[in-house]
Chains A and B, each alone.
Chain A
Amino acid sequence: MAHFDTEYQRLEASYSDSPPGEENLLVHVPEGSKCNSQHQSLIFFNFCNVYNLHQKNGFTCMLLGEIFELVQLVFVVTFTVFLANCVDYDILFANKLVNHTDSSKVTLPDAFLPVDVCSARIHDNVFVIFILVISGVFWLHRLVKFIYNVCCYWEIRSFYINALKMSMAELPYFTWQEVQARIIEIQKEHQICIHKKELTELDIYHRILRFKNYMVAMVNKSLLPIRFRLPFLGDSVFYTRGLKYNFELIFFWGPGSLFENEWSLKSEYKRGGNRLELADRLSSRILWIGIANLLLCPVILIWQILYAFFSYTEVIKREPGILGARCWSLYGRCYLRHFNELDHELMSRLSKGYKASSKYMNCFMSPLLTVVAKNVAFFAGSILAVLIALTIYDEDVLAVEHVLSSITLLGVCITVCRSFIPDKHMVFCPEQLLKVILAHIHYMPDHWQGNAHRYETRDEFAQLFQYKAVFILEELLSPVITPFILIFCLRRKSLEIIDFFRNFTVEVVGVGDTCSFAQMDVRQHGHPAWMSAGKTEASIYQQAEDGKTELSLMHFAITNPQWQPPRESTHFISQLKEKVHREATGGQQGTAAENHAFTSTHSLQSESEPRSLIANLLAGPPSLASLHLGRDSSIINHLSIGVSEGTSALRSLSPLSTSLHLRGSFPSARLPRPDHPAVAAGRAMAGSGTDARTVSSGSSAWEGQLTSLVLSEYASTEMSIHALYMHEMHKQQSRGELSRHTWHRQESDESSESVHDDVEAIRNLPRSSTFPFATTPSQEGAGLQSSSQRRYGGTTGNSSPRVQRTARMPMGGWSEEPHTGRHHDPVPEEGSEDELPPHIHKVRQHSSELKMDTVIRLGRNQNSSRLFFCLKLM
């Protein structure tokens, strides 16, 4: 604004417009003001599209993809109609002779009916006309949407090019983190969001993931009717794309939905006054949508079948094994998703866990099925062999009716059978595999741990990780089942839904209404059994289950190191990181030995070697484990936990060949920090990957070396470590609750029993004989068990005051029962905090006494041996 002194005085209305001496008052327009207004609205509404365009690798790819989708739709419909009406199947099947006899061969065009016959048949068939009309309307709708989308994306393209200075060609080479960093920079310059001076990462995530966060929270609080107890199938989950679409339609964007527009909840839903009326309204809306679904059901069903047929038949013919392959179910994706986790982050996490998961599922081969499958495969195989042999001898055999089809069928049959026959050369250890899986998927119900070998666990895991075939089947059934779920199950929950949206919606300046869970506020939504005891003030209704808040917070803080969390969260994060770090350094002596064992273990186990390099670097997991051991005063010589957890975390480290040259730089990066002078520099990294990352971002020498890709690898590794740690803590805590009163009596028999299990588990670990292995398996097992027993020995004597949680009960929340099974009493904070340091101290001494020889030996040639591992692994 110009600085022009206007004196406060009455002026005559007829004043002259151009004042004297204006030459002195020339003002210059600042540079770059242009793109400001250009992108202000656009960016605000369309962070989601900015993200999508990035994920779809630029404008051209996106455009082509959308066009092909439209074309595909037309193709499927026309092709089906054509097949149904315009083909003379008698000619194809050679039941009828072709009229013209100039050539003896039947060609494909011979089988086509002439155009007039064809169109007459179409006209006569009402059903076909109906389908054509419906699909035509649907297609037009898609076309309009497509045109609209193209306009939107075109603007975003210009935003990328002009404001972010990224050309479409090089867009695929930028990670989302980089794009995001640029957006934040742009905001500082141009203030695209006018509410705040600076945008944070969380703001951007919130906008992109607003509705997804709601869905995750609703699944987390089991609000959506997707779990059913069926008479024969038992507990099952039904959540398909169709159902998801309907949920979103009802809640977020459909006509009359709860949301007024993309960013704000309708104001009447924010007030508690007329919740009953609103619930009525919602339930009637759901009824109507359910009925509409029911009416459209035949059309959708036909579409689903056709689509599945066209897209999967060819693949199944090519590789029938795909039906036996697995994929993460839609429910699994919702259950496993952190708050504020973008699609690509989730997918990469789940993909990393894929191998371990399918391995785990393959552990459960029913022996009965195996016997049957072996024999069926044998019989089918012999018939197939004969047919093939005959064909090779004389190919006229193929011309005999149904020979080709039976060959194909037999082939499919054998492939299916083979998938039931386990690989002879595989060694499985379910418990350990589950740990590995946990390192990637980060969430898991409590009762799985220790029950990995049971079928119940497997079945529950199968809900998250289902057969592709089951997935396709569910999608096919979806149009039929969805309306009933809507009408009979969802409608009953309408009051709960209304309450949920009212209680868990917060308005964030510059972002709009978001799900309050997505704020990841430990105080509001923390679960006392997940390390936020004492910090959380949430009632049961407000707690996120499965430690979602805590894990999400860690995940977000780790993936976005620049993000400044609010004070309480910072406290939580730093405390947790410190704990992990302390345990890492606390268990260092032990780790040396452990790591040794664990490296050797891994060198046999891992399929892709470079991984273990980075695992060596961040020897977090073993040290982690030793810290658990450290907490009870039992000794570090039982390292089995370390071994198993180590291996698990190892998998989480994705292949990273770059880490080799990084090895060299770690010492230099770490040395300035005086706190661990005695520790070998590489080892000092052990505590947390964050250290590496913060150091790296701090020192300029590092910035060149570490691309953001490498950093994100570190981040995912670190997150795995933290997730394992948190689950471990949670286990201890809940186990402590349960066994606090009874452990004295149980100790002897339980430990002997479970020692057996653990010994077996450990025997299953492949172990290298090349390297000294200090402890015997049985010792390890015993140690493991007794350690977990003793862990809470200390606290029994402590009559520590229980933290009284203030129950702030929102309206419509659940009544808080004092002794519900799913609720763990908060463990007093001071108990865990103050006790820790002396314990670790003790452990250090102890371990150094007991393991003197190992430590010394390792200490002496630590570096050389580590180097040796690396070389070996290369």
Chain B
Amino acid sequence: MNCRSEVLEVSLEGRQVDEALLALLHTILLHRSTGKFHYKKEGTYSIGTVGTQDIDCDFIDFTFVRVSSDELDRVIRKAVAEFKDALGNSGSDGMGQISLEFYQKKKSRWPFSDECIPWEVWTIKVNVVNLANEQERQICREKVGEKLGEKVINIVEVINRHEYLPKMPTQSEVDNVFDTSLKDVQPYLYKITYQITDSLGTSVSTTMRRLIKDTLAL
């Protein structure tokens, strides 16, 4: 609850899902990553550089910029691929949402596991549409490109606002704020989760089932 949440909605064709999501997630992560911190003392550090890289999309008229870190890219690609699989399995015109959550860790004493406190959540709602012919695909290709451009500007606007960011940590606490597992870049701690919503989710039978379950769950 104590976190900002931004929602982006895209509707596109099945084969575009990969690239569109990568474009959005990478754009966000580009702005939420720093160079590696090199600590001199407990509270003093220098920051490494971050390279950027242009990526051209195959199925969309779009080029985006991402942090040039293959490791990061691999992680993101894996998450997106999982999401796409789940989306594909759920039915052809699936709807789903994938969310990128930035969080801070809070160390707890022994019996409890570390607590994750999210401070910003980006939710991308994906609506997959089916297109009939090549001409429509062509139009869609351009349209989605424009839409993504808008989204990127949107993201940058949100990020440009002076809003809460975790404060820079000391060396002992750097793991609570940043993901230090990558070699060449250091994004804020994040996790990617997804959820497939069946468009028939509120059918009568499921409602009844839920109703019975709810009433019995005393």
How far does the alpha carbon of A10 sit from the alpha carbon of B40 in the complex, in Å? 30
Contact with A along B36-74 (1 / 0, CB 8 A): 101010111111111111100000000001001010000
* CB under 8 Å from chain B, chain A span 233-261: 255-256, 261
- Contact call A33/B46, Cβ cutoff below 8 A: no
What residue of chain B has the Cβ atom nearest to residue A510's Cβ?
Answer: B2
Residues of B within 8 A of A17 (CB): 36, 48-49, 183-184
Residues of B within 8 A of A510 (CB): 2
Determine which residue in A13, A29, A195, A285 has the highest number of CB atoms from chain B within 10 A of its CB, and name it: A29
Comparing B82-90, B144-152, B165-173, the segment that makes contact with chain A is: B165-173
Give the residue of B48, B183, B217 whose beta carbon is less than 8 angstroms from that of A256.
Answer: B217
- Contact call A194/B119, Cβ cutoff below 8 A: yes
- Contact call A281/B169, Cβ cutoff below 8 A: no
- Contact call B218/A15, Cβ cutoff below 8 A: no
How far does the alpha carbon of A76 sit from the alpha carbon of B53 in the complex, in Å? 72
What residue of chain B has the Cβ atom nearest to residue A7's Cβ?
Answer: B52
**A849 at the binding interface (Cβ < 8 Å):** no
**B131 at the binding interface (Cβ < 8 Å):** no
Closest chain A CB from B91 CB (angstroms)? 23
Closest chain A CB from B63 CB (angstroms)? 12
**B176 at the binding interface (Cβ < 8 Å):** yes
- Contact call A33/B168, Cβ cutoff below 8 A: yes
Give the residue of B34, B40, B214 whose beta carbon is less than 8 angstroms from that of A26.
Answer: B40
Residues of B within 8 A of A6 (CB): 49-52
What residue of chain B has the Cβ atom nearest to residue A262's Cβ?
Answer: B1
- Contact call A15/B38, Cβ cutoff below 8 A: no
- Contact call A26/B167, Cβ cutoff below 8 A: no
Indicate whether A284 sits within 8 Å of B49 (C-beta atoms), given known contacts A29-B170, A255-B217: no
How far does the alpha carbon of A15 sit from the alpha carbon of B167 in the complex, in Å? 28
Contact with A along B91-114 (1 / 0, CB 8 A): 000000000000010100000100
- Contact call B46/A281, Cβ cutoff below 8 A: no
What residue of chain B has the Cβ atom nearest to residue A19's Cβ?
Answer: B49
Number of A-B contacts (CB under 8 A): 135
Contact with A along B169-209 (1 / 0, CB 8 A): 11001001100000110000000000000000000000100
Residues of B within 8 A of A22 (CB): 38, 46, 48
How far does the alpha carbon of A625 sit from the alpha carbon of B1 in the complex, in Å? 49
* CB under 8 Å from chain B, chain A span 259-283: 261, 263-264, 277, 280-281
- Contact call A4/B49, Cβ cutoff below 8 A: yes
- Contact call B184/A255, Cβ cutoff below 8 A: no
Residues of B within 8 A of A19 (CB): 48-49
- Contact call B52/A8, Cβ cutoff below 8 A: yes
**Looking at chain B, what size class is its interface with the partner chain?**
35 or more
How far does the alpha carbon of A10 sit from the alpha carbon of B166 in the complex, in Å? 29
- Contact call B2/A193, Cβ cutoff below 8 A: yes
Comparing A38-46, A350-358, A493-501, the segment that makes contact with chain B is: A38-46
Contact with B along A139-155 (1 / 0, CB 8 A): 00000000000010000
What residue of chain B has the Cβ atom nearest to residue A32's Cβ?
Answer: B167
Residues of A within 8 A of B2 (CB): 40-41, 44-45, 193-195, 510
Residues of A within 8 A of B215 (CB): 256, 281, 284-285, 287-288
- Contact call B176/A37, Cβ cutoff below 8 A: yes
How far does the alpha carbon of A19 sit from the alpha carbon of B70 in the complex, in Å? 19
Closest chain B CB from A436 CB (angstroms)? 44
How far does the alpha carbon of A13 sit from the alpha carbon of B50 in the complex, in Å? 11
Closest chain B CB from A50 CB (angstroms)? 14
- Contact call B119/A15, Cβ cutoff below 8 A: no
8 more A-B residue pairs beyond the given contacts A23-B46, A33-B169, with a C-beta to C-beta distance below 8 A: A2-B34, A9-B52, A11-B68, A17-B48, A19-B48, A27-B46, A29-B170, A255-B217
Between-chain CB contacts (< 8 Å), 13 pairs? A4-B47, A4-B49, A10-B54, A12-B51, A22-B48, A28-B44, A30-B168, A40-B117, A194-B4, A195-B2, A255-B218, A281-B214, A288-B215
Residues of B within 8 A of A (CB): 1-4, 34-36, 38, 40, 42-54, 65, 68, 70, 104, 106, 112, 115, 117, 119, 163-170, 173, 176-177, 183-184, 207, 211, 214-218
Closest 8 CB pairs of A and B: A11-B51, A194-B164, A33-B167, A44-B2, A29-B43, A22-B46, A2-B47, A41-B117
